Structure 1
Amino acid sequence: MTWRLIADVGGTNVRFARVFDGLVFSERRAYPGARFESFIHAMRAYATETGGLEGCSSVAIGAAGPVAAGEIHLTNIAWTIREADVEAEAGAPCTLLNDVEAAAYGALTLTERDYTLLSGPAPDLSRARRLLIANIGTGFGAAALFRMENVWASCPSEAGHMSLRLPDDAAELRLAFPSVEHALSGRGIAHLHAALRGCDDGLSARDICANSARDPAAAATVRLFSEITGSVLGDLTLAYTAWDGVFLVGSVAKGCAATDPRAMRAAFENKGPMSERLKTVPIALMLKEDPAFFGLAIAPVHTF
């Protein structure tokens, strides 16, 4: 029986699994990346523990960072992953994806119970042709999906490093937040809170969101965070013409992005002549665990 090997490579851990037809996962393993000198060494350890690579028909790897010329250089681990090296090791074609790109493909496996609608009309994934997926967690990332005939193609980005345009009433903070990721991330919420208070009280993003119902400074932080989120998502929706829906993933998105959906929605739609068009775009939060794993399981296979 043939199967696909998938690997989700993070800054701390690398996770592997085998995927069989019908999205059946088996032999899940996670290893500290620092334990190995390279991805290939980690892959060999997994193969040794799980019975080898016989029957592997393809490999799909998601990792944080841009993919260029079939390789990716990781930031937090001194690894370079090359499709050619993996193909030689596995004897099967390899597809290397940005981690958010992998999560974007995961959106295609969603059912109604796998997401919650934050604002706008309900999405119809059966008819969708263009989607935007944004990850708000340790950092910020975004990728789009485009349907051509019956095939979906992805377009990754480095949106977290775009210049950030703050709301007019927060313009004095501009120098402290030069890029999107400086505000839309876990540390970004803490930085926003410190900037609005005029001091750093050491609260985490989770604490700030939890305190927003009773602490004016936390409430102001969450509102500003929601406004920035909406504005950035609106810009990316226009850039990709992702009219069929925006899906948020990531730990911060789950914890805070839905806290002030009205502020987010207002900023999302505040795009001049395109405001009416943006009113028709759903914004939803993915609830499904491990969307990147599911995305890697169905991502198109590169051929030799």
Structure 2
Amino acid sequence: MPISSDTDRNIAFPILIGDIGGTNARFAILVDAYAEPKEFPVLATADYETIDLAIQTGVLDKTSLQPRSAILAVAGPIKESEIDLTNCDWVIRPEDMIRDLGFEDVVVINDFEAQALAAAALGPEHLEKIGGGEIQPSTSRVVVGPGTGLGVSGLVHARHTWFPVPGEGGHIDIGPRTPRDFELFPLYQTIEGRVSAEQLLCGRGLMNIYHGVCKAGDSAPQAKTPAEVTSGWSAGTDPAAVEAIELFVAYLGRVAGDLALIFMARGGVYLAGGIVQRIIPALEHSRFREAFEDKAPHSGIMKRIPTFVITHPLAALYGLAAYARTPIRFGVSTQGRRWKA
């Protein structure tokens, strides 16, 4: 059973930290509060039947270190002692991990809580600024991450502590705004009639936009994967890919701006994940900030909110490591999300 209330913030070293996404799982071991994390090769979730097998063969069998604790960030809602991941077949059972893998303590949080922790901990060397605005100290922040799905998390500062606020913000509605949108939205694939933000702002969302553009132009798709869309955009060889990336960037600006207003994120909006890292030149084009700032009657506020691309390749692990080193700095709720031997 998960612990219902946990006043003990100490987590025993060595600590296994893991960022478990729908497609890939990234692990590292933190030996103590001063060491750099020992990273392990990225594992494809499809290559392992269970997360326990991935940890055993992909991490524990490759080191003499035996972690006493584990802190895992997962892409899925955390409910009781069986945690289903949203976009892969793994089920996390912390009690089984304690019994079979030798952990004394297992903490499970949302994957975008870890990204939010990173937004509080990363320095400017790992941030690419997009457009104007300046960070206001000790003010709210938002992380938005197009990946296998669309992750969203807030970060609120109070009592000298950063509190990550997880949620399912990627499933908010998004609708047409421009004449071109009104041509394309009827062509986008929906979920029960809805076009949510995630239907457009993730890997399959990019393909949704791309196929809509191809249908509107009565042209055969050249790209079969999101990577091929970004390649066609980068090379300028696929006009549908070029427009798809332009639309993706504009839609991302709209959604990021909406979330900035919800959290009044004067500390900035942080874009996470491999997709945004690959399309930074498109984000630096004015259309992203124009869409972000186009929030009348609050455009003046929006102009002062900065936006960044997180460029650290393992940002979620960085955030987890910051939390593992000094849990008291972060208001991470472990109630019902921590299991002990």
TM-score with structure 1 length normalisation? 0.85
Deviation at 1:230, TM superposition (A): 0.8
Task: Determine the structure 2 residue equivalent to 1:156.
Answer: 166
1:108-159 Cα shifts (integer Å, max 9, x gaps): 23111111111122436xx233111111233321111112222212112222
- 2:122 is aligned, of 84, 90, 110, to 110
The within-5 A match list for 1:109-128 is 109-123=121-135, 127-128=137-138
Report if aligned partners of 1:17, 1:29 keep a CA contact under 8 Å in 2: no
Q: 1:7 to 1:218 in 2, by over 3 A?
A: closer
Distance change in 2, residues 1:91/1:252 (3 Å): closer
Q: Contact conserved, 1:211 with 1:219, CA < 8 A, in 2?
A: no
| Percentage of identical aligned residues | 29
SS of 2:40's partner is strand
- What is the 5 A alignment of 1:1-304? 2-19=13-30, 20-26=32-38, 28-34=40-46, 36-45=48-57, 46-51=59-64, 53=66, 56=68, 58-69=69-80, 71-87=82-98, 89-123=101-135, 127-169=137-179, 170-175=181-186, 176-177=188-189, 178-198=195-215, 199-203=219-223, 204-212=228-236, 217-256=240-279, 258-260=281-283, 261-299=285-323, 300=327, 302=334
Q: Does the C-alpha gap of structure 1 residues 70 and 266 become closer, same or farther in structure 2, counting only changes over 3 Å?
A: farther
Counterpart CA distance in 1 for 2:208 and 2:160 is: 44
Q: Is the 8 A contact 1:140 1:180 kept in 2?
A: yes
Matched-pair contact (CA < 8 Å) for 1:193–1:200 = no
Q: 1:278 is aligned with what amino acid?
A: M
- Structure 2 Cα separation of the partners of residues 210 and 27 of structure 1: 31
Residue 82 to residue 128, structure 1, CA distance change in 2 (3 Å): farther
Bigger RCO of structures 1 and 2 (CA < 8 A, at least 6 apart): 2
C-alpha separation in 2, matches of 1:232 and 1:69:
31
- Aligned-partner residue type, residue 16 of structure 1: F
What is the alpha-carbon distance in structure 2 between the residues aligned to residue 23 and residue 295 of structure 1? Answer: 15
8 Å contact 1:234–1:278 — kept in the other structure?
A: yes
CA distance in 1, matches of 2:230, 2:287: 19
CA distance in 1, matches of 2:212, 2:18: 38
Work out the CA distance in 1 between the residues paired with 2:149 and 2:109.
Answer: 17
Unaligned runs of 5+ in 2: 1-11, 190-194
Matches of 2:96 and 2:38 in 1, distance apart? 24
Q: Distance in 1 between matches of 2:308 and 2:46?
A: 35
Query: TM-score with structure 2 length normalisation?
Result: 0.77
Over 3 Å counting, the alpha-carbon distance change for 1:235 and 1:37 in structure 2 is: same
Contact 1:3 1:21 in 2 (8 A): no
- C-alpha deviation, 1:37, in angstroms: 4.1
Corresponding residue pairs, total: 299
CA RMSD of aligned residues (A): 2.7
Structure 2 CA distance, aligned partners of 1:66 and 1:257? 30
Q: Report the residue type matching 2:276 in the other structure.
A: A
Contact kept, 8 Å, 1:9 with 1:62, in 2: the verdict is yes
- Aligned mates of 1:69, 1:295 — CA distance in 2: 24
Give 1 or 2: higher strand fraction: 1
